[in-house]
Amino acid sequence: MANFPVHKNSILRDRLDNLVRGDRENSAPLDVVVTPGEINDRHGTGPLVKRIMKGRRGVCSVRARDDWGHQNFGDWNVKIAQEGFSRPECFRNVLRVFSGRRVASVLCVPFLEDDLITSIVLKEAFGAILCGYVMDDQNVSVSKVPDALMREFLEKCSLRLATHPELQYEYQRKFGLPFSLLPAVVPDALISGDASVPEELGREHGALIGSFWDQMWFDRLCAELSQCQCRIDWYGNNQSPWLKFPPEVMESAGVTAKGLIPESRLAAELRRYSFVIVPVGILNQSDGNQGIAALSLPGRILFAAATSRTPILIVGSQDTCGARFVKHFGIGEVAPYDAPRIAAAMDRLSDPAVQRTMRANAGRMAAFSDSGVVDWLAASIAQGRPADSRFEDAFAGYSAALR
């Protein structure tokens, strides 16, 4: 089990009772979303979950631990930590909270063992429809979640989703169960229809987006950027609870932390750069977070390409999901953690002809719009299959690269 403090579930029960006392007498069904941590805008899971559930009522958000300091999703939210408990005790922990409620469906983003166990309990105890939505791997490339528990969870799911084809392919291959695609969709209102190249673009000024999942990625990137004679504005969470971002290191690398800003503003800001840097793993044993390095596709790649059409520079292995994505759609380049090759890629991406081509190609990102996704997901969960093939179609021709 994951190593974190056991939450006092009696306190948890009292807190939820206070929140929903006025609603307990009715029999309105509850849709539960289970995630490892809080849902907020400080990490990728938060904005995506809020996007695909936007407008839904009667949603209870359940998490196993607190990492980010606050929660801003769901009509109700509660923390249920299952670490150290037997399966019968896990049932009691959940029933203490949800006694008297009707749980209609459970959408689980599996990452910790707790997430899977709580979701299994909710399905078994309430007869709820269970949907598993894999965003990051904790079983195939790493062994954080045991095979037996993952298989039990997946077999109990009526619908299994993955954010991108690599996850879909690997989980289907290992468990022999069908998976469908629900990518990191982008706000429809922010998707750009303008493929023109902004004036006065230059290779000396770029953007960096997203959060770092591994200290080594930050250290490597800064070491190489310090030799590239460029200025980089970083739009992302520079207050990680796990990693360190020394100001002197960023200054040497020419990186200025801009922090987290509203997505509407971020889309406008990214448009004025020649390129957007996204660091990824190098796919060897030096990657501290093997699951993220091997099988994650940063959602900010889709966001940046769709909303600004600015070319993407993936820094890391060409065999990562991010590298494969930008190459397939023709929206960027890939360079290893090597200053001369990073600088050369910056030069190529700054060429006006390359800008025109890649910004035109980025028009295909409109397929990843969040328009209608809330209803699509609800219908898909109810039917136990995708309501339509919009996302499979968006990745047409992609899966051949996985074999």
Residue 165, C-beta contacts closer than 8 angstroms, at least 6 positions apart: 181, 395, 398, 399, 402
Checking if the pLDDT of 73 tops 90, the result is: no
- Average pLDDT for residues 236-244, to the nearest whole number? 84
What pLDDT is stored for residue 120 in this prediction?
97
Map out the domains of the chain with their CATH numbers.
Answer: 9-181 (3.40.50.2000), 188-365 (3.40.50.2000)
What three-state secondary structure class fits 181?
A: strand
Using an 8 Å Cβ cutoff, are 73 and 46 in contact? Answer: yes
282-309: pLDDT as tens digits: 887 676 666 677 899 999 999 999 999 9
Checking if the pLDDT of 260 tops 70, the result is: yes
Checking if the pLDDT of 15 tops 50, the result is: no
Residue 225, C-beta contacts closer than 8 angstroms, at least 6 positions apart: 232, 253, 254, 255, 339, 342
pTM of the model: 0.90
- Average pLDDT for residues 379-396, to the nearest whole number? 97
Q: Quote the CA–CA distance of 315 and 80 in Å, as a whole number.
A: 38
Checking if the pLDDT of 403 tops 80, the result is: no
pLDDT band (50, 70, 90) for residue 399: low
pLDDT band (50, 70, 90) for residue 148: very high
Tokens of 106: 């459970």
What pLDDT is stored for residue 12 in this prediction?
45
Work out the mean pLDDT of the chain and round it to a whole number. 89
Using an 8 Å Cβ cutoff, are 141 and 294 in contact? Answer: yes
Checking if the pLDDT of 11 tops 60, the result is: no
Q: Quote the CA–CA distance of 286 and 2 in Å, as a whole number.
A: 22
The phi and psi torsions of 65 (rounded to 5 degrees) equal: -155, 170
Q: Which residue has the higher pLDDT, 25 or 245?
A: 245
pLDDT band (50, 70, 90) for residue 153: very high
Checking if the pLDDT of 79 tops 70, the result is: yes
H helices of 43-194, where?
45-52, 87-98, 113-126, 147-156, 165-175
CA-based nearest residue to 270, from 336, 212, 218, 194 = 194
- Average pLDDT for residues 83-101, to the nearest whole number? 93
41-60: pLDDT as tens digits: 777 788 999 999 999 999 99
Checking if the pLDDT of 261 tops 80, the result is: yes
Checking if the pLDDT of 163 tops 50, the result is: yes
Checking if the pLDDT of 21 tops 80, the result is: no
Tokens of 321: 């999901």
What pLDDT is stored for residue 43 in this prediction?
73
What pLDDT is stored for residue 284 in this prediction?
76
What pLDDT is stored for residue 175 in this prediction?
98
Residue 127, C-beta contacts closer than 8 angstroms, at least 6 positions apart: none
- Average pLDDT for residues 160-169, to the nearest whole number? 96
Segment among 103-107, 133-137, 141-145, 272-276 with least mean pLDDT: 141-145
Q: Quote the CA–CA distance of 63 and 135 in Å, as a whole number.
A: 16
345-380: pLDDT as tens digits: 999 999 999 999 999 999 999 999 999 999 999 999
Kindly report the length of the chain.
403
Checking if the pLDDT of 211 tops 70, the result is: yes
Give the percent of the chain with pLDDT over 90. Answer: 74
pLDDT band (50, 70, 90) for residue 401: low
CA-based nearest residue to 301, from 311, 287, 289 = 311
What pLDDT is stored for residue 6 in this prediction?
35
Checking if the pLDDT of 193 tops 90, the result is: yes
What pLDDT is stored for residue 7 in this prediction?
40
What three-state secondary structure class fits 336?
A: coil
Q: Quote the CA–CA distance of 381 and 386 in Å, as a whole number.
A: 8
